[in-house]
Structure 1
Amino acid sequence: MNGSMRVLSIYEGFFSGGARILHSDVLTGLHGRRGQQHSLLSIHNEVRREATFQPMHEDACYRRLAGQGLTVHTLGRGADERSPFTAGEIERFSELAAQTDVILTLKEQPLGLVNRADLQGRPVIACLHRSDPENQGSAFEDLRGAAFAGHLAAAVCCAESTRDAYAAAGVPEELLHVIPNGVDLRRFKPSRRNRASVRGALGIPADAPVVVFAARYDRMKNVPLFLAAAREFLALRPDAHVMLCGAGMTCANPGLLADLAALGLAAVDQSAEQARGPRGEPPGRVHLLGVRNDPEAIYAAADVVALTSAFGEAAPLCLIEGMLCGAVPVATDVGDCASIVAGHGLIAEPEPAALAYAWIEALGQHAHFFQAMTRNRYKFSRTRMIMAYGSLIRKTQRKSVRRPAPAGVPIKGSVTLTPASLAVPPPVVLEPIGVA
């Protein structure tokens, strides 16, 4: 498309996580629209995180982006490669940047590459999705370096807590722009069909209370706290079940197994990569689901969506998505969680009994919170978010010094993956808003 602004996003890699899901929403919402053409560079073509090996071509976000016609480049780094960037890698990225008008980085980690390249004045926008810059190590110093060297033209903060934290840590406030997270309201909605299907597949009775914990196995998520609260909750409600989904939420993760054993909890592994138990085995009440590509169905099957994070959260998608599917959000007071759940759910103290009783209270007030969510669901739409990203990209590009770049220059040494290189399924046609 002649005259389109060319925008390149840079990822560390493709792996399960809310920030990549959200960024994929932004890219597919803007690509080919509003005068923008988007592409992407992934530094790694495979990632190992939370006891899960994740090849790029198998990732749901990658397949969605490729299916929507975005070109995805990769430097081809392996899962365990952490060596400094080579001169060849920096040169390849510099050549790719020369064909770009604006560069986006998903979080601050890719700035380690960006700061070493010749950008020829191309503006950089960092997309920040956490509220703990002090825990980002050298990546935060790369962000500060980009800001004070003049490379960083703007930073998107997905929450007020993100802006406050990064401003307090020394990032110039004029660079920080808050764009709240939003989701697809057509996809995330209550569904009787999904509720029955998931519960039936997992052996959960139709009327059983269910709490879902959607998170990767990471220290910030405080999985031991969730499990301790689950033990209290299951003791108080013998008819209840809990579901854990996300990277590392399988019996293949020794850390999770140790957490369960320490609390005397038995779990049934029902993740896609694990074999099911023998027929006739009594169903467990702690369900390990691993990485799922149907979060809307998992949330619709639950009555409560829980978050027990200790730090780092900004605007967790699990709370928004779960709430829109009919589950009451109950969270610890981190990041912007309190403002997200206000009037729609509960904030609880980070203590097992307090969380368990908050889940029970949420069950008792489910009808009230469901009505509130129904009235206010449009405030969480991704439409405003995508428009705000598009506007900031345009404004940033207009303020920059525009230097035309040669078109069609081959990127030496990188691997380019497009829809033609994989059998990518067509985009899913979503149902209209309503209860299915």
Structure 2
Amino acid sequence: MLSVYDGFFSGGARILHSDVVLGLREGGQHHRVLSVHGEVLREATRQTMRDDACYRSLTAAGVEVTSLGRTFGLSGVPAVDPGVFSGPELAETARAMAGADVVLSLKEQPLGLLNQGGLPRRPVIVCLHRSDPENQGGALAELKAAIADGTVVACVCCAESTREAYRAAGIPAELLHVIPNGVDLLRFRPDPARRLRTRDALGIPETAPVVVFAARYDAMKNVPLFLRAAHAWLRREPAGHVLMCGAGMTGDQPGLAADIREAFGDDTRLTERLHALGVRRDMETVYAASDVVALTSSWGEAAPLCLIEGMMCGAVPVATDVGDSALIVSGHGHLTPPDPDVIARAWTEAVAARTDLAPVLARSRERFSRTRMIASYADLIDRVHAQAMRPTAPEREPALPEPPLPDPL
């Protein structure tokens, strides 16, 4: 198996896919990963492949990870046409593909590379993790071209909303397979010891209500809406604390700093209970320390990993109605309109209901199991591989003309 990433940078899709690769490897498949980019500037954060948590987890497990070495967004580095690849880049890609039976493309962006002529023919499964195919630049066109060419033979949709969006965008329904996201239930679980330890490290009292927002600094996450809700909630809850995690979620990020000033105005005393933690590699401890996991996204989400991870650690989900959030939150938390005051009230209600909802969240664990997810991926890959190995029927040679009958005596 070969997985092709556009790059290693902070985001739920990369976390999820890397966990899929590790799970499939645990099941006996041999995997390697090829990354188009080796270093990027995203969310005002310089992110290198070798410092990435997913890269480290893959290589620690013995998965070979290589890169074409491209960069994106770095100051002083000339921009490279994303649709043009050099001879050495194509040779490296061909070597990686030659050793694979099936190729997984993490989202549709790597198809710009995989659609290049002269590469080995291998069946490609595209793993789709968003619900806005029309908002992905030229990626949708690359996906359609790869399907028409016969290169892409299946698409994994992490959510029902993903399948519906891509079907509406013209992708054949028979290629779209829904495999809902799942998480490691041994890692993501309620843990009183983690809860106390993390709160103590952050200076948060044991009984204080805590809301966590796990998202990169990106327009689709609607950070200004979240901050307006945080302002309203912190004014209402004098003991409350708000945690923000993800790329760009740091105090020295100019965009975030401006958003905080806009949302909080002169209430700077409230920002003392607003914790910008940046990228964390111990999200299970952050979720365990929280009472509510919040999502305020405006578009693009499919099956937000933060909601699932937070729920499995005992935090009550409160989300806007985007992607499959309604299906995930139903019966477990609150769905809200994009109104900061309504969101703040929902956070308060969620904190109050946390104890009563704990048994409900516990009963949902099997539904969000990583084991279930990995088994579904393995089944689809096996079917694709079996189809690729099936011999094609040979073309029938034209029938020879019957010999003429002998002349009657």
Q: Please, what TM-score do these two structures have when normalized by structure 2?
A: 0.91
Q: What is the Cα deviation at residue 360 of structure 1?
A: 0.9
CA distance in 2, matches of 1:174, 1:282: 52
Q: 2:381 aligns with which of 373, 379, 393?
A: 393
Q: What is the Cα deviation at residue 92 of structure 1?
A: 2.2
Higher relative contact order (CA 8 A, sep 6+): 1
CA distance in 2, matches of 1:282, 1:147: 52
1:282-431 mapped onto 2 (5 Å cutoff): 284-401=272-389
Q: What is the Cα deviation at residue 145 of structure 1?
A: 0.9
Partner of 1:15: 9
AA of the residue aligned to 2:336: A
Matched, 1:38 2:31: yes
AA of the residue aligned to 1:350: P
CA distance in 2, matches of 1:55, 1:120: 29
Contact 2:302 2:323 in 1 (8 A): yes
CA distance in 2, matches of 1:30, 1:339: 27
Partner of 2:214: 214
Q: What is the Cα deviation at residue 363 of structure 1?
A: 1.3
- Over 3 Å counting, the alpha-carbon distance change for 1:267 and 1:162 in structure 2 is farther
Partner of 1:429: none
Secondary structure of residue in 2 paired with 1:177: strand
**4+ residue segments displaced more than 6 Å:** none
1:229-268 mapped onto 2 (5 Å cutoff): 229-264=229-264
Contact 1:52 1:248 in 2 (8 A): yes
Deviates more, 1:255-264 or 1:156-165: 255-264
Q: What is the Cα deviation at residue 109 of structure 1?
A: 0.5
Deviations 1:84-124 (A, max 9, x none): 32233123212321221111010000000000143443100
Q: What is the Cα deviation at residue 196 of structure 1?
A: 1.1
AA of the residue aligned to 1:380: F
CA distance in 1, matches of 2:117, 2:386: 22
Secondary structure of residue in 2 paired with 1:31: helix
AA of the residue aligned to 2:363: R
Q: What percent identity do the matched residue pairs reach?
A: 57
CA distance in 2, matches of 1:208, 1:33: 42
- Over 3 Å counting, the alpha-carbon distance change for 1:166 and 1:282 in structure 2 is closer
Partner of 1:68: 61
CA distance in 2, matches of 1:145, 1:238: 56
Structure 1: which 5+ runs fail to align? 1-6, 269-280, 404-436
Deviations 1:139-165 (A, max 9, x none): 111111111111111000000000000
Matched, 1:54 2:47: yes
AA of the residue aligned to 2:45: T
Contact 2:320 2:335 in 1 (8 A): yes
Q: What is the Cα deviation at residue 197 of structure 1?
A: 1.3
AA of the residue aligned to 2:330: A
Partner of 1:432: none
CA distance in 2, matches of 1:184, 1:99: 29
CA distance in 1, matches of 2:379, 2:267: 47
AA of the residue aligned to 1:48: L
- Over 3 Å counting, the alpha-carbon distance change for 1:75 and 1:63 in structure 2 is same
Secondary structure of residue in 1 paired with 2:351: helix
Deviates more, 1:24-33 or 1:231-240: 24-33
AA of the residue aligned to 1:286: L
Larger radius of gyration: 2
Deviations 1:219-259 (A, max 9, x none): 11000000000111011111111010000000221110110
CA distance in 2, matches of 1:291, 1:344: 27
Please provide the CA RMSD for this pair: 1.8
CA distance in 1, matches of 2:377, 2:139: 23
Contact 2:228 2:264 in 1 (8 A): no
Contact 1:266 1:286 in 2 (8 A): no
